[in-house]
């Protein structure tokens, strides 16, 4: 099974209503006037980071990618649960964990550890829990006519990886404050984890729209060459916020308009009015 087939099989199981049909990045449980937001992501050696990477950077990335999902729901983090592979340098993992928890004022709630045979790639899991007050944007709420925006720049993680695992790749900065500011006024929002083009396509498909993106409008990071723009837009790991909102809304934070949601067509994504490249981003096979 690939990732899509596996998720489709999971949908045949009894699902809690808060699971959103497994069609979003987070589960959502209503508690009075607030919503509890839960998300879980894993990272694995050789897939999300190279063997030999500083365990402090591994710890940062593990928590950051989960906090980024909370950011896309406009949630304030409450705490995290960890699943960790024991390493020879686990003290450095703990040091990196301390850094990101203190940076974002997040508390450790607990978790579990395992030991693996020498030479077995390490893997780590994190469950992040947050609270949202007010509307929680889904990836499925975009409407035809909405403007499509992205925060920050695209391609910095790709450049960091190529340069030897620079901080933009290993130490992403989840947009928590921006997500909370945007949540009340956007129709749909998600983070850019698997590539801007793929994630825009996912949002459009979930919203029964087509995302029409202009390549020249994408705010590429300094250093992305003109002939490398498609690669950067489909590379992933940028962890910026992608959101759809009314074209006339006054945004509370800086963001760049990269396109428009239009009525659903044969494809969920158009790039410069044409069919996009076959590979839109990263998906587990």
Q: Are 220 and 153 in contact, with CB atoms under 8 Å apart?
A: yes
pLDDT for 277 beyond 60 = yes
Confidence band, pLDDT 50/70/90 cuts, at residue 107: very high
Q: Please determine, for residue 217, whether its predicted confidence score (pLDDT) is greater than 80.
A: yes
Both tokens of 275, joined, read: 């069919």
Q: Tell me which residue has tokens 């029409």.
A: 212
Average pLDDT for residues 179-195, to the nearest whole number? 97
Question: Does the structure show a pLDDT above 90 at 280?
Answer: no
d(CA 178, CA 53): 29
Going from the C-alpha of 217 to that of each of 95, 259, 271, the distances in angstroms are 39, 8, 11
Percent of the chain topping pLDDT 70:
99
Domain formed by 3-133, architecture: 2-Layer Sandwich (3.30)
Quickly state the pLDDT bin for 166 (edges 50, 70, 90): confident
Whole-number pLDDT of residue 113: 95
Q: What is the pTM assigned to this prediction?
A: 0.95
CATH 3.90.650.10 given to domain 147-271: yes
Under the banding of pLDDT at 50, 70 and 90, the label for residue 93 is very high
**261 and 142 Cβ atoms separated by less than 8 Å:** yes
Please state the domain extents for the chain. 3-133, 147-271
C-alpha–C-alpha distance, residues 66 and 128, integer Å: 6
pLDDT, residue 165, reads 77
Mean per-residue pLDDT, 229-244: 96
d(Cα 105, Cα 109) in Å, to the nearest integer? Answer: 13
Question: Contact at 8 Å (CB) between 138 and 109?
Answer: no
Whether 3-133 and 147-271 share one fold: the answer is no
Confidence check: pLDDT of 278 > 80: yes
pLDDT at position 284 is: 56
Average pLDDT value for residue range 227-253: 96
What percent of the chain is predicted at pLDDT more than 90? 89
Q: Where are the alpha helices (DSSP H) in the chain?
A: 3-10, 55-71, 90-103, 156-162, 167-170, 176-182, 196-206, 229-233
């Amino acid at each position: 099974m690939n990732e899509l087939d596996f998720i489709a099989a999971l949908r045949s199981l009894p699902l809690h209503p808060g699971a959103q049909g497994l069609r979003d990045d987070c589960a959502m449980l209503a508690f009075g006037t607030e919503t509890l937001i839960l998300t879980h992501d894993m990272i694995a050696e050789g897939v999300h980071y190279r063997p030999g990477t500083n365990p402090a950077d591994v710890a940062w990335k593990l928590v950051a990618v989960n906090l980024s999902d909370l950011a896309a729901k406009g949630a304030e983090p409450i705490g995290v649960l960890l699943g960790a592979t024991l390493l020879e340098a686990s003290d450095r993992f703990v040091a990196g964990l301390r850094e990101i928890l203190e940076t974002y004022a997040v508390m450790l709630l607990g978790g579990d550890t395992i030991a693996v045979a020498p030479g077995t790639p390490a893997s780590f899991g994190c469950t992040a829990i947050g609270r949202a007050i007010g509307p929680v944007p889904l990836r499925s709420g975009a409407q035809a006519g909405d403007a499509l925006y992205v925060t920050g720049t695209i391609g910095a993680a790709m450049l960091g990886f190529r340069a030897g695992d620079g901080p933009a790749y290993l130490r992403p900065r989840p947009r928590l404050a921006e997500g909370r500011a945007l949540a009340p006024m956007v129709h749909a929002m998600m983070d850019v984890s698997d590539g801007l083009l793929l994630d825009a396509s996912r949002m459009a498909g979930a919203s029964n729209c087509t995302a029409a993106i202009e390549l020249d409008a994408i705010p590429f990071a300094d250093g992305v060459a003109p002939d490398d723009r498609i690669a950067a837009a489909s590379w992933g790991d940028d962890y910026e916020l992608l959101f759809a909102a009314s074209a006339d809304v006054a945004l509370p934070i800086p963001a760049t308009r990269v396109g428009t949601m239009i009525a659903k067509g044969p494809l969920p994504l158009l790039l410069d009015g044409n069919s996009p490249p076959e590979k839109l981003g990263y998906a587990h096979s």
